[in-house]
Amino acid sequence: MSLFRDPKRLLAVLIAGVAGLIVLLDFAGAGGPLAALASVLVEWAAVITAVGLLLGVLSVSGAHLQRVRARSADWPYSLILIAGLLVMIVAGIFFPLPGRAGIVLPGSLAEVPIRTVFRALYEPIAGSLLALLAFFSLSAALRALGRGSAEAVVIVVVAVLVLVAQLPPVTALPGVGATLQWFNDYVALAGARGLVIGAAIGAFVAGLRVLLGFDTPYLDR
């Protein structure tokens, strides 16, 4: 459907495109009234995002409360999710801090009480999941080798060599440390930079399509 045949869609595309272009020009270094307007737009976007996040939290909490009340399947997990949500809210708002009194909203997720809860609960869980990834990776490697794919064999052999080369007895051998450092500085870094450049090009193309109205995710279509 053409944009000119749908005035509502055309208006939404124009607003999104103009707002995005103003913020983009401000990011490129444009000053004066354009910078002030871009700052206002960014603040509006932050407020809208915060309201959307609040509505999302309320929606998710309501859905899980219903699961707990109805004793649906796996309802204890819903109860744990709600408890974790309440712990983070209490830690971020009501936790006493030096020089603070009363209810004070945290400035960021790096505030002391929130960071303390993350270190006490989230980081051990994340570490356990990362430890489990080693077994999943081993299982995936064995399956790949079982299929007889040449690419899979190369990937598994290189991964095994890198892991073995990083063992302390092996790194103590002459020339091994320098070789590993060369691979990290040139081969691995080149691959990482290629991935970053590819992601940047993809983000640029996706943003350009949104600005030009070819993609309209804000219209939920």
**pLDDT the model gives residue 136:** 84
Q: Residue 99: left if φ>0, alpha if ψ -120 to 50, beta else—which one?
A: left
Across all residues in the chain, what is the average pLDDT?
Answer: 80
**pLDDT the model gives residue 199:** 94
**pLDDT the model gives residue 150:** 81
Q: What is the pLDDT of residues 199-211, one digit of tens each?
A: 999 998 988 888 7
**pLDDT the model gives residue 198:** 94
Q: What is the pLDDT of residues 131-165, one digit of tens each?
A: 888 788 878 878 877 777 788 788 888 888 877 87
CA distance 106 to 77: 27
Minimum mean pLDDT range among 92-96, 160-164, 174-178: 92-96
**pLDDT the model gives residue 109:** 56
Q: What is the pLDDT of residues 52-62, one digit of tens each?
A: 988 998 999 99
CA distance 24 to 204: 12
Is residue 28 scored above 90 in pLDDT?
Answer: no
Which residue ranges make up each domain of the chain?
Answer: 168-221
Residue 193 C-beta-side C-alpha neighbours within 13 Å: 7
Mean pLDDT (whole number) for 123-134:
85
Is residue 215 scored above 60 in pLDDT?
Answer: yes
For 110, phi and psi rounded to 5 degrees? -95, 5
User: Which residues, in sequence order, are CB contacts of 85 under 8 Å at separation 6+?
Assistant: 57, 61
Q: Which residue in this structure is represented by tokens 């609960």?
A: 121
Three-state SS string across 115-172, please? HHHHHHHHHHHHHHHHHHHHHHHHHHHHHHHHHCCHHHHHHHHHHHHHHHHCCHHHHC
